[in-house]
């Protein structure tokens, strides 16, 4: 059986991480009778290094890196390619389907951005979101199997479509081996620094960084003047970065907020291990990989109650409403000022995180082989 894996939409780090985690396990479990061919383009060919050598690759035109060019290519060329190579099932990493392709299609849904109105702030965003919502409705109608990272994401897809899918599984993201190995080091788990807060994310406008900053200012006003906030992650929107830097200055937080930007993997693990709390007040998360990575080190989570993070992080976190700076400050103060409460949340966080290994979370994807055999 040949599985054609369409990764053309996978251009951000979190998407690459999830796709590599799931597919690496799937390829490892597959017998010699199963083959995999991946589709990539110049903008994401690094996926070749993340997936096993057993995956063959076809590089598509460079313009398939843009959503419009990718859509045109998928509608006009993908079916011909699938016939030529004799593919038995199409695995889509975009949460969409290619309606013109007759193969059974398994689609991995990872991105809820277009389904959350608060995340779409500009006219361009709203137009793109409208087109994505149409594509997601088509996936619910036509996919042989939809794979969701969380129940939250599944509910958002079903609400958008106004109907249930043919079949679905929940296959959460998992922790990679480097995180698990680092967190097993007892010295790493004992490095939490009092009053140190870390926020890890791609710092896009829908991530609620203004709420984190406003809550941190309130935390200082509550008497936790020694608290430090570390913002870790790239800023895809330069205007948003400038606005948040101005907000830091306006709140008088220049000496207690550090903006690190993107950091290497080893430095990221160090941030998780040293923090006493992880805080991200996002409006839109399909899973929340950084939150679970932080929990793996015993770092409790404070995050918004509107997305997948409460479902995923469970008893190892506190979940105020998005935009609620006062509630967020109160949650952080509880963790930082009450050692007994921190210890309980820390233990719950670590126990929760350890259930998210790809050895466990990728198992639902074994349905691909059943679907391919049934469809051939």
pLDDT in tens, 4-39: 999 999 998 899 999 999 999 999 999 889 999 999
pLDDT of residue 130: 92
| Domains contained in the chain, CATH given | 2-174+358-375 (3.40.50.2000), 177-353 (3.40.50.2000)
Q: What is the pLDDT of residues 212-225, one digit of tens each?
A: 999 999 999 988 87
CA distance linking residue 170 with residue 313, whole number of Å: 16
pLDDT tens, position by position, 132-179: 999 999 999 999 999 999 999 999 999 999 999 999 999 999 999 989
Q: How would residue 189 be classed by pLDDT, with cut points 50, 70 and 90? A: low
Q: What angle do CA 145, 150, 154 make, to 5 degrees?
A: 55
pLDDT for residue 282 = 96
pLDDT value at residue 119: 77
Residue with tokens 């049934």: 374
What pTM did the predictor assign? 0.94
State the pLDDT confidence band at 187, using cuts at 50, 70 and 90.
low
pLDDT digits (tens, 9 = 90+) for 74-130: 999 999 999 999 999 999 999 999 999 999 999 999 999 899 887 777 788 888 899
Q: Distance between CA atoms of 164 and 145, rounded to whole angstroms?
A: 12
The whole-number pLDDT of residue 67 equals 87
Flag whether pLDDT at 70 surpasses 60: yes
Condensed to tens digits (0 to 9), the pLDDT of residues 267-313 reads: 999 999 999 999 999 999 999 999 999 999 999 999 999 999 999 99
């Amino acid at each position: 059986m040949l599985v054609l894996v369409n990764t053309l939409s996978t251009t951000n780090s979190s998407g690459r991480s999830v796709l590599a985690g799931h597919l690496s396990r799937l390829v490892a479990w597959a017998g010699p009778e199963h083959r995999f061919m991946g589709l990539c383009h110049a903008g994401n060919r690094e996926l070749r290094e993340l997936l096993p050598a057993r995956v063959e690759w076809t590089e598509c035109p460079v313009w398939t890196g843009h959503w419009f060019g990718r859509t045109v290519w998928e509608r006009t060329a993908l079916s011909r390619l699938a016939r030529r190579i004799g593919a038995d099932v199409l695995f889509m990493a975009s949460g969409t389907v290619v309606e013109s392709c007759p193969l059974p299609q398994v689609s991995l849904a990872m991105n809820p951005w277009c389904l959350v109105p608060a995340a779409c702030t500009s006219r361009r965003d709203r137009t793109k979101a409208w087109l994505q919502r149409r594509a997601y409705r088509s996936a619910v109608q036509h996919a042989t199997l939809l794979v969701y990272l969380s129940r939250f994401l599944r509910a958002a897809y079903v609400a958008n479509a106004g109907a249930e899918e043919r079949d679905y599984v929940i296959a959460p993201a998992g922790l990679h081996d480097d995180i698990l190995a680092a967190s097993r080091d007892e010295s790493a788990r004992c490095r939490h620094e009092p009053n140190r807060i870390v926020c890890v994310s791609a710092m896009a406008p829908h991530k609620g960084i203004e709420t984190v900053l406003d809550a941190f200012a309130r935390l200082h006003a509550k008497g936790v003047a020694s608290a430090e906030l570390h913002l870790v992650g790239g800023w895809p929107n330069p205007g948003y970065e400038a606005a948040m830097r101005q907000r830091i200055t306006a709140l008088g937080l220049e000496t207690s907020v550090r903006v690190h930007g993107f950091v290497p993997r080893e430095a990221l693990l160090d941030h998780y291990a040293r923090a006493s709390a992880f805080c991200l007040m996002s409006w839109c998360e399909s899973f929340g990989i950084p939150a679970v990575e932080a929990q793996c080190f015993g770092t409790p989570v404070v995050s918004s109650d509107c997305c997948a993070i409460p479902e995923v992080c469970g008893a190892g976190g506190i979940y105020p409403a998005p935009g609620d700076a006062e509630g967020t400050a109160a949650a952080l103060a509880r963790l930082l000022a009450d050692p007994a409460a921190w210890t309980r949340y820390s233990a719950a966080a670590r126990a929760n995180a350890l259930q998210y290994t790809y050895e466990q979370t990728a198992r639902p994807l074994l349905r691909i082989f059943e679907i391919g055999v049934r469809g051939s």
